[in-house]
C-alpha cells in the first residue's frame, strides 16, 4: 500500500504544480467572473495564491480518496493536515525571504509554491494515516469545508491585513 500511496502522491504533486500554474491565469481569462473567483486567484495577494495549492490539491484528493483513500482510516484527516502544512509553508517561506531581502522575486514566489506543494505531498507519504480511526475523517471533512468557506468569504470580504493585500494594486479581494 505504501508504494501505491507514494505513486499517487507523486502524481498529485505534479498535478498540483501543473493545474495550479494554469489556475493562476483562469480568473483573468474568464473576464473576471465572480464564479471563477471561487476557485482561482483574483489578485496577487499571498492569500489568493494559496488557491494554487488548495484547489487542485482538494480536487486531486477527492479522486485519490475514491481510488485508494477509502481503504485507509484517517485518510481525509491526514490530507487536511498535509494541506494545512503546505499552505503554511508557502506563507512562512514567502514572509521569511521577503523579510530578509526586502522585496519579492517571481522565481522565489514560484519556489515557495513548489516547496509548499512538496511539503503537503511528502507529509502525506510519511504520515498516512495520522490516525487509523475513521471517525477522524469526519473531522477532516468538516475542516476542509470550513477552509473552503473561508477561502470564498475572504475572496469577497478580505480582512485588511498584509496577507490579503495585492502588492500590485494595493487593494484587497475582488
Tens digit of pLDDT for each residue in 72-126? 889 999 999 999 999 999 999 999 999 999 988 989 999 999 999 999 999 999 9
Question: In angstroms, how far is CA 171 from the centroid of its own chain?
Answer: 22
Tens digit of pLDDT for each residue in 51-61? 999 999 999 99
In the chain, pLDDT over 70 holds for what percent of residues?
A: 99
DSSP codes, 142-172:
HHHHHHHHHHHHHHHS--SSGGGB-TTT--B
Name the residue ranges covered by the structural domains of the chain. Answer: 2-164
- Helix residue ranges, H only, the chain: 2-29, 46-49, 51-67, 75-101, 106-127, 135-156
Q: Pull the grid cell for residue 8.
A: 499517487
Average pLDDT of the chain is: 94
Amino acid at each position: 500500500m505504501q508504494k501505491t500511496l507514494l505513486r499517487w502522491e507523486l502524481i498529485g504533486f505534479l498535478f498540483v504544480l501543473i493545474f495550479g500554474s494554469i489556475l493562476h491565469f483562469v480568473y483573468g481569462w474568464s473576464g473576471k467572473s465572480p464564479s471563477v473567483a471561487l476557485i482561482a486567484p483574483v489578485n496577487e495577494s499571498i492569500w489568493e495564491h494559496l488557491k494554487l495549492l488548495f484547489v487542485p490539491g482538494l480536487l486531486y484528493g477527492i479522486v485519490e480518496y475514491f481510488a485508494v483513500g477509502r481503504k485507509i482510516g484517517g485518510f481525509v484527516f491526514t490530507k487536511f493536515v498535509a494541506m494545512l502544512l503546505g499552505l503554511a509553508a508557502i506563507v512562512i517561506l514567502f514572509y521569511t525571504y521577503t523579510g530578509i531581502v526586502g522585496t519579492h522575486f517571481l522565481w522565489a514566489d514560484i519556489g515557495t509554491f513548489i516547496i509548499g506543494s512538496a511539503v503537503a505531498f511528502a507529509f502525506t507519504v510519511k504520515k498516512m494515516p495520522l490516525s487509523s480511526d475513521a471517525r477522524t475523517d469526519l473531522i477532516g471533512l468538516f475542516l476542509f469545508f470550513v477552509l473552503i468557506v473561508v477561502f470564498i468569504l475572504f475572496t469577497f470580504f478580505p480582512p485588511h491585513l498584509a496577507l490579503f493585500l495585492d502588492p500590485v494594486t494595493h487593494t484587497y479581494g475582488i
